[in-house]
Amino acid sequence: MISSAAIARVATREAERFRAANPRAFSHHAAAIGWFQSVPFHWMKDWPSPVPIVAASAKNATLTSIDGQTYDDFCLGDTASLFGHSPPALTAALAKQASEGLSYMLPTERGAALSARLAAMFGLPIWQVTTTASEANRAVIRWCRGISGRAKILTFNGAYHGAVDDAFVDLKNGQPVMRASLVGQVHDLRATTTIIEFNDEAALADALRGGDIACVLAEPVMTYVGMVRDAPGFLQSLRRLCDETGTLLVFDETHTISSGYGGHGVTHGPKPDLMVVGKSIGGGVPCAVYGFTAEVAARMAALNQSRPAGHSGIGTTLSANALAITAMDAMLSNVITPAAYDHMLGGAARLVAGLEQEIATAGLDWHVTQVGARVEFLTCPTPPRNGGEAKAAMQPDVEAAIHLFLANRGILLAPFHNMMLVSPVTGDDQIDRLVSGFADCTKALKE
Ligand SMILES: Cc1ncc(COP(=O)(O)O)c(C=O)c1O
């Protein structure tokens, strides 16, 4: 319904507009020759603008660039700042901790309080801290293999669990393949990773009945290929099949923490054996956690007792440093609250209603999906049932044109797909600006 000529016309016009409005960003990147590809981390090149916006500061749900542009921020650091940029309770706690030491390799009293908060919020009794969600997923996979004595894991086609090599296997024409974009991986990951489509209960039963899978690593709703919701009953079948086959069930709730207070497992069920939460839990300070049942903890303790002393391959020097513990404790006690979720879910509902209205007005066969505070528009008529369908439905050119159009009107979406996050400090005025920018964009694409 939208021609490729129209997409190219909008993309070209918007690139020119960006160029005119952001001269300092261009000078910055021209001078940044000490960074590989002019950025300190190569993903920062993945924005649809001709050069990345250069951030100056951010507060609440507003970001300001060195060119003096202000943005309604619906990217929120790709979830790291889901609860708003620099909440006062976090910045005060960090400032205090900064003068009391940042990394001791020793537990602190604050840490004990934090583990109790994690247990209360997420419903699992025992916890460990890592520096990123990727690292938490890697740790969890290693523990599951260790305690089960099984080598394989199972993940779902199109899932993303961070920089976790084991999860970089895709399904292509029904066959497992190494993810083509992966750099420098020399092992054949297919030997130890089973990959099936999400919501495919028959394939899941087949795979698990072999009895050789240590854990299923899953997001309860897929969030990195657009968003793919669980079909009714699928997660309950997943739980049952794991129990029947002695397979551990891991929920990676790094993104689905948007579902509601406690994440998807708590708000919708079922309960996993282990879970991972990262990014937003520290309000943007690098840290993540994984939690598990008492039974899993007992098996981990038994494994620890039976192995020789020495490197476990789990954790790094900076894991659970004082700054990370302080950040999470401040977030959980003051910022990540049921009241915050009430605001986020209300805002997300407003956004969904606005976008659906504009899609209908424009006569587009697109749809909108919501996972709590996380909203996504997909440029296809019906919700995909799995990662394969979702990947096939993606239209990167249209998406890039829309993102750039919106950025030029002071609205920031996550660069990777059409993900929009509503924080506890996102205003209705910001949501309404996003909806009206989206409406203007669909008009421009149909001209
Ligand atoms: C579901 C999920 N798990 C884990 C991660 C990894 O997070 P990080 O990059 O902070 O390690 C991501 C990153 O986007 C993610 O989407």
Residue 66 shares a structural domain with residue 116: no
Q: Is the CB of 160 under 6 A from ligand 1?
A: yes
Rounded Cα distance, 50 and 6, in Å: 19
Residue 314 shares a structural domain with residue 397: no
Residue 72 shares a structural domain with residue 203: no
**Strand-pair partners of 249:** 216
Out of 160, 164, 219, 276, mutate this one to test ligand 1's pocket (max ligand atoms within 8 Å of CB): namely 160
Q: Given 278, 303, 335, which residue is the final one in a domain?
A: 335
Q: Given 309, 335, 361, which residue is the final one in a domain?
A: 335
Atom of ligand 1 nearest to the CA of 132: 11
Residue 197 sits in a domain whose CATH number is: 3.40.640.10
What was the pLDDT predicted at 68? 98
Q: Is the CB of 374 under 6 A from ligand 1?
A: no
Digits of tens for pLDDT over the chain (447 positions)?
799 999 999 999 999 999 999 999 999 999 999 999 999 999 999 999 999 999 999 999 999 999 999 999 999 999 999 999 999 999 999 999 999 999 999 999 999 999 999 999 999 999 999 999 999 999 999 999 999 999 999 999 999 999 999 999 999 999 999 999 999 999 999 999 999 999 999 999 999 999 999 999 999 999 999 899 999 999 999 999 999 999 999 999 999 999 999 999 999 999 999 999 999 999 999 999 999 999 999 999 999 999 999 999 999 999 999 999 999 999 999 999 999 999 999 999 999 999 999 999 999 999 999 999 999 999 999 999 999 999 999 999 999 999 999 999 999 998 888 999 999 999 999 999 999 999 999 999 998
Q: Given 335, 363, 383, which residue is the final one in a domain?
A: 335
- Burial 415-439, CB ≥16 within 10 A → b, else e: bbbbbbbbbbbbeeebbebbbebbb
Count Cβ atoms within 10 A of the Cβ of residue 362 and give its class: 0-12 exposed, 13-18 middle, 19 or more buried.
middle
Residue 183 shares a structural domain with residue 101: yes
**Residue with the nearest Cα to atom 3 of ligand 1?**
161
Residue 249 shares a structural domain with residue 290: yes
What was the pLDDT predicted at 1? 79
Q: Is the CB of 220 under 6 A from ligand 1?
A: no
Q: Is the CB of 193 under 6 A from ligand 1?
A: no
**Residue with the nearest Cα to atom 14 of ligand 1?**
162
Atom of ligand 1 nearest to the CA of 159: 1
Q: Is the CB of 219 under 6 A from ligand 1?
A: yes
What was the pLDDT predicted at 370? 97
What was the pLDDT predicted at 322? 97
Residue 57 sits in a domain whose CATH number is: 3.90.1150.10
Residue 143 shares a structural domain with residue 289: yes
What was the pLDDT predicted at 155? 98
Q: Is the CB of 134 under 6 A from ligand 1?
A: yes
Domain residue limits at 406 = 4-83+338-446
Residue 161 shares a structural domain with residue 263: yes
Total domains in the chain come to: 2
Residue 204 shares a structural domain with residue 282: yes
Q: Is the CB of 255 under 6 A from ligand 1?
A: yes
What was the pLDDT predicted at 295? 98
Q: Is the CB of 416 under 6 A from ligand 1?
A: no
Residue 352 shares a structural domain with residue 441: yes
Residue 211 shares a structural domain with residue 290: yes
Residue 288 shares a structural domain with residue 321: yes
**Residue with the nearest Cα to atom 15 of ligand 1?**
161
Residue 66 shares a structural domain with residue 187: no
- 174, two tokens: 């029904």
What was the pLDDT predicted at 447? 86
